[in-house]
Amino acid sequence: MKRKTLILGLLSILCAWPAAAQRPVYQDPSQPIEKRVDDALSRMTTAEKIGIIHAQSKFSSAGVPRLGLPELWMTDGPHGIRPEVLWDEWDQAGWSNDSCTAFPALTCLAATWNPEMSALYGRSIGEEALYRGKDVLLGPGVNIYRTPLNGRNFEYMGEDPYLASRMVVPYVKGVQQNGVAACVKHFALNNQEAFRHQYNARLDDRALYEIYLPAFRAAVVEGEAWSIMPAYNLYGREHLAESKRLLGDVLRDEWKFDGVTISDWGAVHSTRRTVTQGVDMEFGTATDGLSAGTKNAYDSYYLAQPYLKLINEGVFGTKELDEKARRVLRLMFRTALKPDKPMGSMNSPEHSKAAHDIAVQGIVLLKNDRAVLPIDLGKRPTILVVGENAIKMMTVGGGSSSLKARYEISPLDGLKARVGTRGTVNYVRGYVGDVGGSYNGVSSGQDLNESRTPEQLRTEAVEAAAKADYVVFVGGLNKSDHQDCEGADRLALGLPYGQDELIAALAKANPNLVVVNISGNAVAMPWVKEVPAIVQGWYLGSETGHALATVLTGDVDPSGRLPFTFPVSLNDVGAHRLGEYPGNAAQLEAMKQAGHQADTIDVRYNEGIFVGYRFADKERVAPLFPFGHGLTYTTFGYSKPTVDKAVMTADGTLDVSLTVTNTGKRAGEEVVQLYISDKKSSLPRPVKELKGFRKVRLAPGESKEVRFTVDREALSYFDDRAHQWVAEPGEFEALIGASATDIRGKVKFSLR
């Protein structure tokens, strides 16, 4: 019996052996990805290759069912997973389980100056994308803050290329550890929404390489991002989805990017250019080339039947198609076909905590005269909250980043919950901004309609303010058109809806006024000298109210720092004083006279490398609040910085060290910033440039050593004549500061 069983077992193994031996390489997860890609590609027809390089629905591309190759599913980010839409419509799909955790906008993440928070952010949002079955997260965004009028600045990481570089890498790695691709956007020079499909960015290579490319390069080279999304605008008179210079020469050749380039929705304009020098995957064209908005037009996309037709006619071979399909297959094996993927998670307590902690660390205390903050709950105060933004949901709106959040705690509700019985919290509206509360089929459910006049609302607020112990005004911008919103830039630097007049009146009525500015952009503050306490609150996501209350009441010491400069006026911004915005004046006038929009409009970046604090330093302009600025409820002392060697060799490094001490009475976090100054160079250089930072937590009286390593890269500039980075021998200075204008110590060294 045993012998018979053994024989039958051997026969079953022998019968199964041919099947096992014939298992395709591409189906074997133990094989290297490149072998699997080669094998899958060899089995595909030309039509199947065409099928995987363009959309089949609003947010998916086709797989190859015959080979078991899956669809790829995209989702908008970068601060929450977008709700589901219908297959061929922007309308909501009507799911009851597609709400998400709303994480703070990326300006807030950058304001944490904490790469650990960035890693937590990426990991958490990646888990939510994974749980929802998404393969590609369309984010993060790392375009440089060139003008405070850009409606999409809230989705980006500030004005400084070094800060953005250090913050984007952990985000990308955090997302991709889940088997979800980060799609870094918008590559590149997407610095305004005005004429975003038409403007041609004109700038020199120094500005391109020193200011606008470093964060993208870091995401690709260090973060190993699996996908990139080109911008809508043009560079070198080419749409960036079809840019040989940036997609080919820079991204593929210089940075050795092996991932997929994915078009923004409607960013492709030509079959022939896209085949030879453009994106790998085309999404959202929504046209057959003749009529806009055609439904089920996916086969008419530039990289669909028109491309196949050109191949069949012999205009193109399959070389370019194979390269694109190969990269898409590589993305499949990294994401949808990644073995042993976890399940992910959605709306978990851990994600709520992550959203809360990131928000708290990003809130910036801009001003705190007379120590008005933190609010002293020991005295059981009466607190008056004023302003529409204290109650208005901010997760809905703003463009493609609009969310269907599972919950959102308003500033008013957060403060009420924190104060509880230890005080009284009252509310008056004060002003009316945007009473709408819906976007793309998602509604906040709020009725913000108001019948009273602005004068009545202001009078009510001022009278109530005079009777309160504290007044907390929560205002700023919102996510409506011409505020912080995709598709349209702001119209002015000032606050809308008569807020400036209201704030000035409140300051006269109550000496303990706190202004909380909710925005993703800098705003003018003509009342800055009259208001004792100012807080930059950003768009903080689901945990907005709890996070703000935590900081306002002193449960946590504020530790955020500005990722961009707050100018006094637009004339203090290089793009406005020296450059062109929103476009060439003569071309704009010609367009106006003709009554139509031109195909392209030039925007000259005449300020070059002098963006943000670099411009302020060069022109000796005093900002309203400088880059890197942020106060705490404690104080910190800095020792004199030292270097471990006076002379650094071209292939070596040196260390800059100092000791930071908490000289106050409560625990807090300080952001120590290292700037490098080149004292003499062949080409013009900024007065100083950020090249290092550390966020240090200290108990009262505690001291810690902070050490920065300076290498050749930190001393280099881009020589556009030689097209290479140059670290020029000479004298340098390391500056240690608490902001771009608060330098606490300097030490000289030289490069030989």
Strand 234-235, strand 199-202: pairing:
parallel
Contact 534, 517 (CB under 8 A): yes
3 state SS for 560-588: CCCCCCECCCHHHCHHHHCCCCCCCHHHH
Report which DSSP code applies to 119: H
- The phi-psi region of residue 7 (left if phi > 0; otherwise alpha if psi is between -120 and 50; otherwise beta) is alpha
676: Cα within 13 Å, side-chain hemisphere: 28
Write out the H or E segment, with its range, that includes residue 150.
none
Residues in Cβ contact with 152 at an 8 Å cutoff, skipping those fewer than 6 apart: 141, 143, 190, 193, 399, 484, 485, 486
Q: Read off the tokens for 495.
A: 């606050």
Q: At a CB cut-off of 8 Å and minimum separation 6, what does 725 contact?
A: 209, 713, 716, 717, 718, 719
Map residue 462 onto helix, strand or coil. helix
**For residues 168 and 117, is the Cβ–Cβ distance under 8 A?**
no
Query: Contact at 8 Å (CB) between 629 and 364?
Result: yes
d(C-alpha 303, C-alpha 275), whole Å: 7
Q: How many residues in the chain?
A: 752
Question: If we measure between CA atoms, which residue out of 460, 472, 455 comes closest to residue 382?
Answer: 472
Q: Is 62 in a helix, a strand, or coil? A: coil
Q: Judge whether 308 and 47 are in contact, CB under 8 Å.
A: yes
Whether residue 489 contacts residue 149, with contact meaning beta carbons closer than 8 Å, is answered with: yes
Give residue for tokens 């870091």. Answer: 218
Q: Using an 8 Å Cβ cutoff, are 511 and 532 in contact? A: yes
The 3-state DSSP class for residue 662 equals strand
Q: What is the DSSP letter of 669?
A: E
Choose among 664, 622, 651, 659: nearest CA to 711.
651
From the list 98, 264, 357, 678, the catalytic residue is 264
Tokens of 597: 């929009």
End-to-end CA distance of the chain: 85
Distance CA 688, CA 676 (A): 5
Pairing of strands 227-230, 234-235: unpaired
Amino acid type, 8: L
- Give the HSE-up count for residue 53: Cα atoms under 13 Å, Cβ half-sphere: 32
- Indicate if 264 belongs to the active site: yes
Q: Contact at 8 Å (CB) between 746 and 736?
A: yes
Please tell me the distance from the alpha carbon of residue 495 to that of residue 499, in angstroms, as a whole number.
Answer: 6
Chain centre to alpha carbon of residue 298: 29
CA distances from 666 to 380, 427, 514, 522, 635 (A): 22, 31, 21, 30, 9
CA distances 735 to 159, 161, 163, 646, Å, are 19, 18, 16, 15
> Which residues have CB under 8 Å from 459's CB, separation 6+?
none
Does an H or E element contain 269, and which? none
Q: Which residues are catalytic, by number?
A: 264
